[in-house]
Amino acid sequence: FQVRLFLTLVCLAVVAMLYVLLCSHACLRPCCGAPEERGSRAASTILSFQGYSRVPDGKPLERALCRRCAIVSSSGQMLGSRLGQAIDGQECILRMNHAPTAGYEEDVGARSTVRVVSHTSVPLLLRNQPYFFQQSQETLYIVWGPAKKMNREKGSTYQALLKVMKTYPHLQIYTLTEEKMTYCDDVFQNETGKNRMKSGSFLSTGWFTMILAMELCEQICVFGMVSDSYCREKNHSSVPYHYFEKGRLDECRMYLVHEQARRAGHRFITEKAIFSRWAKRRNIIFTHPSWAGG
> In CATH, which of 3.40.50.1980, 3.40.50.10710, 3.40.50.720, 3.90.1480.20 is domain 46-287?
3.90.1480.20
- Look at residue 9 in the predicted model and tell me its pLDDT: 55
- 138 CA to centre of own chain: 19
Q: Model confidence over 145-172: pLDDT tens digits?
A: 999 999 999 999 999 999 999 999 999 9
Range of lowest pLDDT (62-76, 214-228, 255-269): 255-269
Q: Helices H, strands E: what count in the chain?
A: 11, 11
Q: What is the mean pLDDT of the chain?
A: 88
- Look at residue 12 in the predicted model and tell me its pLDDT: 58
Largest Cα separation within the chain, whole Å, is 84
Instruction: Please say whether the beta carbons of 255 and 229 come within 8 A.
Output: no
| pTM for this predicted structure | 0.86
Burial of 37 (0-12, 13-18, 19+ CB in 10 A): middle
pLDDT, mean of residues 131-146? 92
pLDDT band at 136 (very low <50, low <70, confident <90, very high): confident
- Look at residue 44 in the predicted model and tell me its pLDDT: 76
Q: Which residues contact 284 (CB under 8 A, 6 or more apart)?
A: 214, 220, 221, 222, 275, 278, 293
pLDDT band at 262 (very low <50, low <70, confident <90, very high): confident
